[in-house]
């Protein structure tokens, strides 16, 4: 697995953000890259890679400098480590804004914690150093628990870096009309809001997210986002509990939420609560795809884009595979022994690194 946290020595009192320049005189095309005050340049490699910049020196251990050229790190000198906030060579960069959440979803991949540390100043510094045209994910916990800070962060970074785009996950429980002017001031084309809706039935949705009234509040928020002109990616994690209601949800989307950009039906990630409850939650879509197929057909027949996220390609009938892009991030993607000679592996997102060996799919195997 690609490491997101690396070992770093730095002589400083507080955490700080730097960008690594592993090759002196790095160039973009024929143009030498101008150094920023936060850049540190590789000086030498011994038992560690030593970088020096205006603020001093850092030593990076255990990773080849060529793999981290252009990466933006949040260095924590007390822990002796750094988080790779932006990996320059990857399209999958996400800022984890908080681990707090006001919901408790049965399949949560990152069970919430009470503790919160505000890192927005570091996130802003990191975003400003991201590669040209980058898309940055924002996730949690629930990012909009810190809505004011989040919106200010977006205004600042989008104003200073007009090439950046954002993909923001939110449970849609915290917006209100007072947020409308700020939401409308953000360039809609540059932000996609990923919002989960699990079922047409309020009872089932509320049961899945562990919060009474969440469905009603969410539907209000979707209307709010529509009026704000926001791009919405509606997300539905497929589970035994909501699979039977997929067609009803598709009808609800076409009748009430036709303004969404994309409906993403997502396979379950076996980590956090989902791992603990795997047998109870996992819906084998390779054996029972009909409901998924009907739901896709229905929304697509009304001109709404629909996609399958985190579905291994061979578990999807051939006629729907073009709707299943490889969505699992590079740093957590893995393939099974069964995949070794598969001819469609290049277009397949495979599995989460932590997917159980007994994968649960009745129909899976290399395509020849």
Sign of CA dihedral 327, 328, 331, 335: negative
**Count of residues that interact with ligand SF4, criterion CB under 6 A:** 15
Nearer to ligand SF4, 41 or 366 (CB): 366
Q: Which helix (H) or strand (E) holds 155?
A: helix 147-160
| 367 is an interface residue for ligand SF4 by CB under 6 A | yes
| 135 is an interface residue for ligand SF4 by CB under 6 A | no
Question: In angstroms, what is the minimal distance from the CB of 341 to ligand SF4?
Answer: 9
Residue ranges of the alpha helices (H) in 302-361?
none
| Strand 39-45 versus strand 16-21 pairing type | parallel
Question: In angstroms, what is the minimal distance from the CB of 271 to ligand SF4?
Answer: 18
Question: In angstroms, what is the minimal distance from the CB of 293 to ligand SF4?
Answer: 18
User: How many CA atoms lie within 13 Å of 88's alpha carbon, on the beta-carbon side?
Assistant: 19
Query: What are the tokens at 149?
Result: 């800070």
Which of 89, 108, 90 minimizes the C-alpha distance to 100? 108
Nearer to ligand SF4, 115 or 340 (CB): 340
- Where b means 16+ CB within 10 Å and e means fewer, 119-132 reads bbebbbbbbbbbbe
Question: In angstroms, what is the minimal distance from the CB of 333 to ligand SF4?
Answer: 11
| 342 is an interface residue for ligand SF4 by CB under 6 A | yes
| 128 is an interface residue for ligand SF4 by CB under 6 A | no
| 130 is an interface residue for ligand SF4 by CB under 6 A | no
Question: In angstroms, what is the minimal distance from the CB of 107 to ligand SF4?
Answer: 21
Q: Is the peptide bond before 169 cis (omega within 30 degrees of 0)?
A: no
- Kindly tell me which residue out of 123, 215, 339, 355 binds ligand SF4, with binding defined by CB under 6 A: 339
| 325 is an interface residue for ligand SF4 by CB under 6 A | no
| 345 is an interface residue for ligand SF4 by CB under 6 A | yes
Name residue, tokens 């956090």.
Answer: 272
Nearer to ligand SF4, 92 or 345 (CB): 345
Question: In angstroms, what is the minimal distance from the CB of 216 to ligand SF4?
Answer: 38
Backbone angles phi, psi at 268, to 5 degrees: -75, 140
Nearer to ligand SF4, 4 or 344 (CB): 344
Q: Which helix (H) or strand (E) holds 298?
A: helix 290-301
Stretch that binds ligand SF4, among 36-44, 79-87, 184-192, 307-315 (CB under 6 A): 307-315
| 313 is an interface residue for ligand SF4 by CB under 6 A | yes
Question: In angstroms, what is the minimal distance from the CB of 38 to ligand SF4?
Answer: 40
Nearer to ligand SF4, 234 or 348 (CB): 348
Q: Render 27-80 in DSSP notation, one character per residue.
A: EETTEEPPPPTTEEEEEEESSSEEEEETTEEEEEESS-GGGSTT-EEEEETTTT
- Kindly tell me which residue out of 314, 323, 324, 328 binds ligand SF4, with binding defined by CB under 6 A: 314
Stretch that binds ligand SF4, among 103-111, 126-134, 272-280, 342-350 (CB under 6 A): 342-350
Question: In angstroms, what is the minimal distance from the CB of 15 to ligand SF4?
Answer: 39
Phi-psi region for residue 187, left (φ > 0), alpha (ψ -120 to 50) or beta?
beta
| 308 is an interface residue for ligand SF4 by CB under 6 A | no
Q: Which helix (H) or strand (E) holds 191?
A: strand 191-196
| 344 is an interface residue for ligand SF4 by CB under 6 A | yes
Query: What are the tokens at 141?
Result: 């916990």
| 327 is an interface residue for ligand SF4 by CB under 6 A | no
CA 208, distance to chain mean position in Å, is 20
| 335 is an interface residue for ligand SF4 by CB under 6 A | yes
On whether the CB atoms of residues 15 and 67 are closer than 8 A, the answer is no
Nearer to ligand SF4, 210 or 293 (CB): 293
Q: Is 226 helix (H, G, I), strand (E, B) or coil?
A: helix
Site residues (vs ligand SF4, CB under 6 A) = 312-314, 335, 338-339, 342, 344-345, 348, 350, 364-367
């Amino acid at each position: 697995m690609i490491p997101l946290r690396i070992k770093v020595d730095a002589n400083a009192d507080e955490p700080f953000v730097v960008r690594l320049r592993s090759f002196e005189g790095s160039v973009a095309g024929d143009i030498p890259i101008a150094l920023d005050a936060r850049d540190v340049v590789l000086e030498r490699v011994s038992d560690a890679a030593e970088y020096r910049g205006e603020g001093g020196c850092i030593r990076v251990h255990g990773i080849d400098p060529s793999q981290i050229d252009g990466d933006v790190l949040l260095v924590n000198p007390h822990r002796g480590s750094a988080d790779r906030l932006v990996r320059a060579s990857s399209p999958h960069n996400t800022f984890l804004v908080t681990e707090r959440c006001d919901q408790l979803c049965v399949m949560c991949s990152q069970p919430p914690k009470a503790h919160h540390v505000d890192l927005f100043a570091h996130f802003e510094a990191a975003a400003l150093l991201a590669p040209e045209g980058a898309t940055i994910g924002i996730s949690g916990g629930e990012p909009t628990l810190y809505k004011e800070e989040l919106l200010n962060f977006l205004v600042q970074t989008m104003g200073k870096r007009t090439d950046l785009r954002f993909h923001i996950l939110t449970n849609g429980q915290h917006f209100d009309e007072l947020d409308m002017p700020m939401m409308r001031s953000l360039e809609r084309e540059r932000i996609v809001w990923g919002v989960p809706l699990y079922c047409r039935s309020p009872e089932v949705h509320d049961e899945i997210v562990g919060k009474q009234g969440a469905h009603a509040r969410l539907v209000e928020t979707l209307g709010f986002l529509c009026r704000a002109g926001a791009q919405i990616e509606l997300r539905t994690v497929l589970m035994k509990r909501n699979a039977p209601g997929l067609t009803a949800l598709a009808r609800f989307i076409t009748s009430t939420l036709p303004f969404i950009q994309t409906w993403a039906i997502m396979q379950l990630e076996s980590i956090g609560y989902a791992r603990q409850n795997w047998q109870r939650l996992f819906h084998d879509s390779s054996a029972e795809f009909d409901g998924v197929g009907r739901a896709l057909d229905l929304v697509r027949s009304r001109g709404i884009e629909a996609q399958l996220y985190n579905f291994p390609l061979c578990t999807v009938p051939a006629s729907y595979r073009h709707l299943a892009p490889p969505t699992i991030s590079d740093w957590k993607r893995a393939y099974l022994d069964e995949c070794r000679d598969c001819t469609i592996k290049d277009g397949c997102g495979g599995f989460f690194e932590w997917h159980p060996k007994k994968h649960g799919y009745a129909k899976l195997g290399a395509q020849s």
